[in-house]
A = this chain, B = another copy of it.
Amino acid sequence: MDKTLSYIEEHGERFLQELFDLLRIPSVSADPAYAADVQRAAEWIAENMRQIGLDAVEVLPTPGHPIVYGEKIISPNAPTVLVYGHYDVQPADPLDLWDSPPFEPVIKKTDIHPDGAIFARGACDDKGQMFLHIKAFEAMWQTGELPCNVKFMIEGEEEVGSEHLGLFCKENNEKLSCDVILISDTSIFSNEVPTITTGLRGLSYVEVEVTGPNRDLHSGVYGGAVANPINVLARMIASLHDEKHHITIPGFYDKVEIISEEERQLLNSVPFDKEAYKKDLGVAALEGEEGYTVIEQTAIRPTLDVNGIWGGYIGEGSKTVLPSKAFAKISMRLVPHQQSDEITDLFAKHFESIAPPSVKVKVTPHHGGEPAVTPIDTKEYRAAERAMEKSFGKKPLPLRSGGSIPIVALFEKVLGAKSILLGFGLDSDAIHSPNEHFGLFNFRIGLKTIPWYHHFYAELKQNSKTA
C-alpha cells in the first residue's frame, strides 16, 4: 500500500483539477434543458476511465440518461468489487442563493472545513465522492497494488429516481456479477467521528394538483362562495400530520420496522449536540414526531415533506385572483419494511378521499425507492471498518442515514450482493442546496480509505478461502 499512498500524495493536485473539470459540466438530470450536458459528463468519465487503464469502458445508452461502465479483472480468484456512483446532479436553483456560480468550482474555507472545501453543485453528491473511486483505482493500478477485480457502474439518473438502472442490472446481471457493491454517496457523522451508513430510508414522491373553478377568477366577485384551491390544498396538506407530528394517512405506519431498545441506544450513542444543530440551522426550535430523538426522527422514522408548492399569482406586487389550480410536490421518506409503491397508493387514496366536493384532485407518482439496511457482521462491513480505522485513526460507528439511495435495495434483489455505504461527506455539506461543497479533508481521506478497503477486503476474503 505504500506505493499507492505515495502516488495519491504525488498526484492529489491533478486529481482535484480533473474533478473541477467534471464539476464544470452542468449534468442536471431533472431538467431536459441539460440533456446534452448529462451526456457530456458521461463521456468525460468514460474518457478518464480509458486513460487510467480501465478495460471495456462504454457509455451505455438507456431510455433516459446513459450509464458509464468500465472494469479491470486481475484474476478469477480475486474478489470483485462493483463501484456504483452517479454523475448527475440536483438542479442548482435557487441560483441567487449561491455565493459563487454552481458550475464554477472554487475552494473556500469554512468553520467546519478550515483546510478548505470545493464549492460546486455535485462536489459532494456525487461527482466528488464517485470520482474518489476512479482515482483510487488509478493509484492502485498504476503502482501494481490493485488486490481486487473492480467494476464501475456510474449512472446519470440517481437524482430522478434511477428509473432505468433496475432493468439495466437485470439485463447485465452477468457482466455486473460481484462480491460486494461499494458506494460513496453518504455522510460521516463528523470529521472527528467517522461512521458507516448501515441504513437508508426509502422514498415515495408524488405531485398533486388541486383544481377548483375551471378558470382563474376575480377574488372579489367570487371569493367567499367558490372554493379556493390554494386554501383547500393548504388544508389538505395540514391534515396530513396530527398535533404530535404523526402522519395521518391510514395504514402508513403498519409495516414500519420496530427497532430494538439495544439498537436505539447504539443509534443514539453518537455525540449529537442539539444546540449546535439548531444553531447551525438558525432555528429556535426543532419540530418532529413526538417520542423520538432527532437521530431517530431522521433515520428510523418515516416522514412527509412538501418539497415544493405553487399556485395563483407569484410575481411582483399583488393580484386579486382566485386561481383555478394549486400544486405541490410531496415526498415521503420510508423505513424498513415500508414499500414505496404501497405507500404511494396509500397516499393517493387518502389524498383523494380527503378532497372536498368543491375541488378535483390529481395525484401523479414521481419516482420511488425502497429502504435498505446493511448488516454489520460481515466481511464486507469489517473491511470498511478497518479501512476507516486506518485512515481516520479511530474505529467508525454504524449509523443509519435519513437519505435515500433507492437502488441499494434493488441491487441486493437483482445482483444478489450487499452494498457497503462508505461515504465521506458531511450532513452540513449542503447537498441539494445552494453552496454545496465537499471538504478537502474529506476528499483526501476518501482517496486513502478506498485503497485500504480493497486491501482489507481482499485479505479477509483470502483468509476465508484458505481457512
Q: Using CB atoms, name the residue of chain B closest to A302.
A: B224
Is the CB of A100 closer than 8 A to any CB of chain B?
no
| Cβ–Cβ contact B238 & A287, under 8 A | no
Q: Among B221, B304, B357, point to the contact of A298 (Cβ < 8 A).
A: B221
| Cβ–Cβ contact B224 & A32, under 8 A | no
Q: Among B215, B305, B333, B433, point to the contact of A433 (Cβ < 8 A).
A: B215
| Cβ–Cβ contact B318 & A366, under 8 A | yes
Q: Which residues of B contact A214 (CB under 8 A)?
A: 281-283
| Cβ–Cβ contact B331 & A219, under 8 A | yes
Q: Which residues of B contact A294 (CB under 8 A)?
A: 225
| Cβ–Cβ contact A321 & B432, under 8 A | yes
Q: Which residues of B contact A313 (CB under 8 A)?
A: 91, 93, 307-308, 329
Closest chain B CB from A403 CB (angstroms) = 3
Closest chain B CB from A414 CB (angstroms) = 23
Is the CB of A386 closer than 8 A to any CB of chain B?
no
Total count of chain A residues near the partner, CB < 8 A = 103
Cα distance, A366 to B315, chains bound together (Å): 13
Q: Using CB atoms, name the residue of chain B closest to A212.
A: B283
Is the CB of A454 closer than 8 A to any CB of chain B?
no
A contact residues vs B (CB 8 Å cutoff):
29-32, 90-91, 93-94, 97, 159-161, 187, 201, 203, 205, 207, 212-228, 230-235, 237-239, 241, 281-289, 294, 297-298, 301-323, 326-329, 331, 333, 356-360, 366-367, 401-404, 427, 430-435
30 contacts between A and B (CB under 8 A): A90-B319, A213-B281, A213-B283, A217-B433, A219-B333, A219-B432, A220-B333, A220-B402, A221-B298, A221-B403, A221-B427, A223-B298, A224-B301, A224-B333, A225-B287, A232-B287, A235-B241, A284-B360, A285-B356, A287-B358, A307-B319, A307-B322, A308-B314, A309-B309, A309-B314, A312-B329, A318-B329, A318-B366, A319-B329, A320-B432
Of all A-B residue pairs in the complex, the 10 with the closest CB atoms, nearest first, are A214-B282, A220-B403, A30-B317, A308-B312, A238-B238, A227-B287, A224-B303, A285-B357, A234-B237, A230-B306
